A and B are shown apart, each in its own frame.
Chain A
Amino acid sequence: MRFWIFLLVALALGAGVFFGARYLHNDYLFFAGYVVLEYLVLATAWNILGGYCGYVNFGTAAFFALGAYTSVAIHKFSPMPIPVLILLGGIVSGIVGLGMGYLTLRLRGAFFSIATLALAVVVQTLITNWDYVGGSRGAYVVRPATVPLVGSYIQYLFLVMLVLAILAVFAARMIERSWLGYGFASIRDDELAAEASGVPTLRLKLMATTLSGAFMGMAGAPLPYYVGYLDPASGFNLAYAVNSIAMPLVGGTTTWIGPVIGALLLGTVQQVATVTISSAVNLLIVGVVLVGFVMIAPNGIIGLIEARLRARSDR
């Protein structure tokens, strides 16, 4: 029951954000808000594997780009509504996540992370050499100017990403508080002890890679419609991999709210910096904030709050 209350509150909050932005009559809010929400989905997706299970994935850009390029491929074949493309992008990236899981999950720690980085390089090389989706030249996607009932197309994309963000956070919260979440946490804490406690660690890790990959692909699926032109440099941008890791680390990796806080905080600061200073400064901001958090609050904002509360209760 609590899950449904959470979903209703999140939807009400989302509706408030959407209509509030519309009330201000400034389309830039939708452009910037879309990016922040996209990062929120990516950070939440990354956290399912990286935060809940403790397996650090450096290959976010590959899953994200797979979602984006699935949209391009389908758009060229037969254009479809964006929600369908999101679903298909999620399926493709989920399947690749499952495959990656089978190939790499016997690896642990840094070795697993390096393997995910290698996956990103392999996928980027394949896409760059696939002419059908534009290869290294990239591909144009012509989008309609308006959408019935919603209005401008950017408002529609914002709305789609808002719903996706709510669903991703809802799913992450549900996982965290279910038997699956307990299993993931036991893997993160001690895989050997988890297995000795009856946890089918390999199966759970495959579920985590699939779910995480699927949400990353979903986040990427609307990208070609947002940018209008997609090339490997933008689809596989380093910023996706860096932000999807930095945002949960800043917010806190052990709960669903951590990536949400991190994404809203870092994403918003980056968008403000883009219009006030330069978009080139974005990764510098992420780097500085990350170093600061590693030194001051290694368990993120949530970890800091928990530590304070625990200290107070111990007094």
Chain B
Amino acid sequence: MSAPLLEVEDLGKRFGGFVALEGIGLAVAPGERVGLIGPNGSGKSTLVNCLCGTLRNETGTVKFEGIELDGYSAHQRTRLGMARSFQLPRPFFSMNLADNLRIPLLYAVGARSGVHLTAAEIDARCTELLGLVGLSAKARRWPRDLTQVEMRKLELARAMAAEPKLLIADEAMAGLSHSEIDDILALLVRLNERGVTIVLIEHIMRAVMHFSQRLIVLVSGRKIADGAPQEVMQDPEVVRAYVGE
């Protein structure tokens, strides 16, 4: 395995007396497609929040491209190249779709050293990204005019506008129909083919198995499995966590 893009060691997080995460260790290589699964309350979203700087982990370290992220705020991590999409889409409702993408282009890409984007370049990138997710025709529409699947696509496009090296997609397919899930899956694969490393947090097993090259399983805040999807799904502890004794 090449030098990891993301490296997590002994990560722990508590909420009062409740242990949300304990001793989490994982590594993600550049270009990899990793699935992160676990039952409700297993700590997946807490882990995402700790990785992205929304929550502070009490123990352990998170390294991105070898840089230790302790003390880095969420926006600094985005600027380093780590973007996320939210479980429930959180578009900027007062802005049209193009302007939604303008924010990361102005603040994440534009803030990187040596990068200066002109207004025309920003417009071009907004158009390109909206085209990539199939929302070109709605560039001047508002998020409230979108369907659920379009909202998810906007969420992914906005994360992509930050031009990340690592995209953490938190339940990007929740609540979608069969064909809509295929749409999002195809989109994620396309993004990966553009060189973006993707960590997919998902409950829909068909999607996770189709997408992931490697699977990590969390249960009760602990990592219980990490490996090839087919092997992980036959792991007795994973089977027990999902279907019981």
Contact = CB atoms under 8 A, between A and B. Distances in A.
Interface of A: 179, 182-183, 185-186, 188-190, 192-202, 254
B86 A196 contact: yes
Contacts of B74: 192, 195-196
A195 B78 CA distance: 8
A198 B94 contact: no
Contacts of A199: 75, 103, 107
Nearest to A189: B92
Contacts of A201: 75
A185 B111 contact: no
Contacts of B102: 182
Most buried by B among A189, A194, A197, A254: A197
Interface string B67-89: 00000011100110001101000
Interface of B: 52-54, 73-75, 78-79, 83-84, 86, 90-95, 99, 102-104, 106-111, 158-159, 161-162
B91 A198 contact: no
**9 closest A-B pairs by CB:** A198-B108, A198-B107, A189-B92, A193-B90, A197-B104, A195-B74, A198-B78, A197-B103, A199-B107
A202 B106 CA distance: 17
B162 A198 contact: yes
Contacts of B99: 182
Nearest to B108: A198
Chain A contact residues: helix, strand, loop or mixed: helix
Nearest to A178: B106
A186 B106 CA distance: 12
Contact of A198 (B86, B90, B93, B104): B104
B87 to A, nearest CB: 12
A182 B105 CA distance: 11
A185 B100 CA distance: 10
Contact of B78 (A188, A196, A254): A196
Nearest to B95: A185
A274 to B, nearest CB: 36
A205 to B, nearest CB: 12
A198 B92 contact: no
A195 B73 contact: yes
The listed residue with most B CB atoms (<10 A of its CB), out of A185, A190, A194, A198, is A198
A190 B92 CA distance: 6
B78 A189 contact: no
13 contacts: A179-B110, A183-B103, A185-B95, A186-B103, A192-B74, A192-B90, A193-B92, A193-B158, A195-B54, A197-B75, A199-B75, A200-B73, A254-B94
Contacts of B93: 189-190
Contact of A193 (B86, B106, B108): B86
Given A189-B91, A195-B53, A195-B75, 5 more contacts: A182-B106, A189-B95, A193-B91, A197-B108, A199-B107
B221 to A, nearest CB: 22
